[in-house]
Amino acid sequence: MTRDDGAMNADEPIRVAIDRWHQHLRGELPGDLESLLHEDCVFWSPVVFRPQEGRDLTMLYLNAAGQVFPGDESPSSSGDPGPSKSSFRYTRQIMEARTAVLEFETRFGDVAVNGIDMITCDDDGRIVEFKVMLRPQKAVEAARDRMSKMIAAMTAE
């Protein structure tokens, strides 16, 4: 976006990054997740003590989360036994400067999960930091168990 005088708005890179993140989630990102992440990207997990540094580790965690965090299927509102959508959905987005906070909800069985993705980008709109926070404690425990299994499966390949 540009202002009337032709200068870029200060928050344009984060809007570009978040637009591309949503494209990735829909499976519509030109290129791939790697093109969205800075090579020195850092991933902060809600259950791992140390930051996961570098694009490869960040991609591993984000790809595993993509398998785990759709959550369980939501029951069809029509009662139709056909395929239903996942329960994962973003409920709010706040963007300022180079940072966005995206609040989400999903379900793991009978556990309601509420969390945020805090995303920071560089001037080129590439993600340099991705931090996930979850609540309540049961959700953190369920995410830990599911992510551990998924990462083990993905790294065993």
pLDDT tens sequence across 44-98: 999 988 999 999 999 999 999 988 887 666 554 444 443 445 789 999 999 999 9
> 36 near 119, Cβ under 8 Å?
no
Residue 111, Cα to own-chain centre: how many angstroms? 19
Sheet order of strands, 127-135 included: 52-53, 37-44, 127-135, 111-121, 99-108, 89-96
- CA-atom Rg of the chain in angstroms: 17
What are the tokens at 79?
């009662």
Quick one: pLDDT at residue 32? 87
Higher-pLDDT residue of 108 and 55 is 55
> 43 near 33, Cβ under 8 Å?
no
pLDDT tens-digit profile of 16-47? 999 999 999 988 988 889 999 999 999 999 99
What are the tokens at 144?
């830990």
Q: How far apart are CA 115 and CA 133, in angstroms?
A: 5
Q: How far apart are CA 96 and CA 86, in angstroms?
A: 29
**What amino acid occupies position 82?**
G
Quick one: pLDDT at residue 73? 64
pTM, to two decimals? 0.83
| Closest-CA residue to 94 (of 70, 113, 120) | 120
- pLDDT score of 14 more than 80: yes
C-beta neighbour count of 74 within 10 angstroms: 15
Quick one: pLDDT at residue 29? 87
